[in-house]
Structure 1
Amino acid sequence: MNTTHILSAFDRDLEAVQALVVRMGGLVETALLDASEALDTRDEDLAARVRAGDDAIDGLEEQINTQCAMLLALRAPTASDLRTVLTVMKIAAALERAGDYAKNLAKRTAVLAQMTPVPGASGAIRRLAKAVVLMLTDALDAYIRRDVSLAEDVRLRDREIDQMYNSIFREFLTHMMEDPRNIGACMHLHFIAKNIERVGDHATAVAEQVIYLVTGEMPGDERPKFDSMATGTER
């Protein structure tokens, strides 16, 4: 049996799958940025394009899972190669969920476009989205480079995202208390902010998969998280 031929075939197949992951990540990043821009500028056409683009993200996850299943069945990877295939599948799942959150953001944009704007809210959400997209970009870069230090940095930055989300949440509460007419819009905006915060959680999950891929172990320490009720306390 030509072992070298088998190994090179596996490497070639794995590179093709990893290229799909990178493409999928790029689509998710663009969707999040476009969705937050559509909210900020009240651009319903852009929001519609984000919603339509989710099919491509879902399609890539299916393609990745199919190719990974073929790798497992035909190439019988062992040790680190098996770990890589499993990591790819988990990263694809995290990206698919992030894409769903971008789609949900775009859906609410169409509703909010018909409501009176809440001062400063869409800009704050856009800043949160940019910070989360940077996390996701760095997590994927860490995967490509097998960079544990960068992955750890991404993992720790999730706390900053929680703080940003909590600050936005407090702003929404203030707007609702000052003027009950803001309640409907602020509820939609809160769900959007929460969805973006959850994307940060998925970016963190990608970073943790990178650490697992390189070291063979998931991080043992629990990340400090600020509570979801925006009290400013850690849990």
Structure 2
Amino acid sequence: MTQELRSNFHEQLDEVRLGIARLGAGVTELVPRVTEILLDGDLEGAEYVILGDDVYDAKSVELEEACFSQIALQAPVAGDLRALVSAIKIISDVERSADLCANICKAARRIYSHELDAHLRGIIQKCGSQASLLFKEATEAYLNKDGVRAAALHDMDTYLDDLHRQFIQVIFESHAAGNIDLQVAVQLAVVARFYERIGDHAVNVGERTRYIVDGWIPDAPYAESHNDLPDAADFPPST
């Protein structure tokens, strides 16, 4: 590869990285937004986010195609190949997280007009804040190629996992107290899982960032079962 071609190749790599970072920043802002939509019963906001998910899908496809094109045309090796292969996987994590935000909005529509008690509202707010923080840190670690920052994400995710368990417990307590009916409880349990999965995707981004930086591979990487997560639509609507 000539010096000119190599320079152009790295410019395109930088463009891909910046494009992914923009998507990640979008998800970082989207998480607290959908949390407020859920808490406020904002039907108009929910519709806007659900329709806007097509933008994330289209941009993800565009970035993936750019990566595949560079692999095919430039035949990169070593660190450059790690960067491109990891970018493809990171794009999937970011796009799936945007899908999960849209799913939270679908759940918000299904529980519309049902009041949530203070404990539920508080734990939902905490889950949204931590999930957003995780994605912010993951995005900035990737953008800045910061392996140390990326390594901290796993511990941050442990806190979100704890919040997830607390969320489920509060759902049981609220239902037992007669504050929410069974269908609302089911929808909220799915929402709790959505937040937890957003955190897992952020950890995935962090692990792939560490792989880009120094080739680090986790001993027991997170399962990437993107297809095993039920959509809120799989559950009967609340009455």
Whether TM exceeds 0.5 here: the answer is yes
Distance in 2 (alpha carbons) for counterparts of 1:53 and 1:188: 22
Contact kept? 2:49, 2:102, Cα under 8 Å: yes
**Which structure 1 residue ranges, 4+ long, deviate > 4 Å from structure 2?**
none
Report the residue type matching 1:212 in the other structure: Y
What percentage of residue pairs aligned between the two structures are identical? 26
Distance in 1 (alpha carbons) for counterparts of 2:181 and 2:118: 10
State the 1:107 CA deviation.
0.6
State the 1:90 CA deviation.
0.7
Distance in 2 (alpha carbons) for counterparts of 1:7 and 1:34: 41
CA-based RMSD: 1.7
Contact kept? 2:131, 2:195, Cα under 8 Å: yes
Distance in 1 (alpha carbons) for counterparts of 2:168 and 2:25: 28
Contact kept? 2:46, 2:108, Cα under 8 Å: yes
Contact kept? 1:142, 1:207, Cα under 8 Å: yes
State the 1:170 CA deviation.
0.5
State the 1:110 CA deviation.
1.1
Distance in 2 (alpha carbons) for counterparts of 1:61 and 1:129: 23
- Number of residue pairs matched? 222
Please give the residue correspondences for 1:61-80 in structure 2 after superposition, counting only pairs within 5 Å. 61-80=60-79
Please give the residue correspondences for 1:1-235 in structure 2 after superposition, counting only pairs within 5 Å. 3-179=2-178, 181-220=180-219
Report the residue type matching 1:107 in the other structure: K
Distance in 1 (alpha carbons) for counterparts of 2:6 and 2:129: 40
CA deviation map 1:20-79 (0-9, x unaligned)? 101211222222221111011111111111111111111111001110011111111111
Distance in 1 (alpha carbons) for counterparts of 2:19 and 2:80: 17
Contact kept? 2:56, 2:95, Cα under 8 Å: yes
Contact kept? 1:154, 1:207, Cα under 8 Å: yes
State the 1:117 CA deviation.
2.7
Report the residue type matching 1:53 in the other structure: G
User: 5+ residue gaps in structure 1?
Assistant: 224-235
Distance in 1 (alpha carbons) for counterparts of 2:125 and 2:59: 26
Contact kept? 2:119, 2:170, Cα under 8 Å: no
State the 1:146 CA deviation.
1.4
Distance in 2 (alpha carbons) for counterparts of 1:222 and 1:91: 14
User: 5+ residue gaps in structure 2?
Assistant: 223-239
Distance in 2 (alpha carbons) for counterparts of 1:188 and 1:122: 14
Distance in 2 (alpha carbons) for counterparts of 1:9 and 1:171: 54
State the 1:220 CA deviation.
2.7
Report the residue type matching 2:49 in the other structure: V
Distance in 2 (alpha carbons) for counterparts of 1:100 and 1:123: 24
Contact kept? 1:211, 1:219, Cα under 8 Å: no
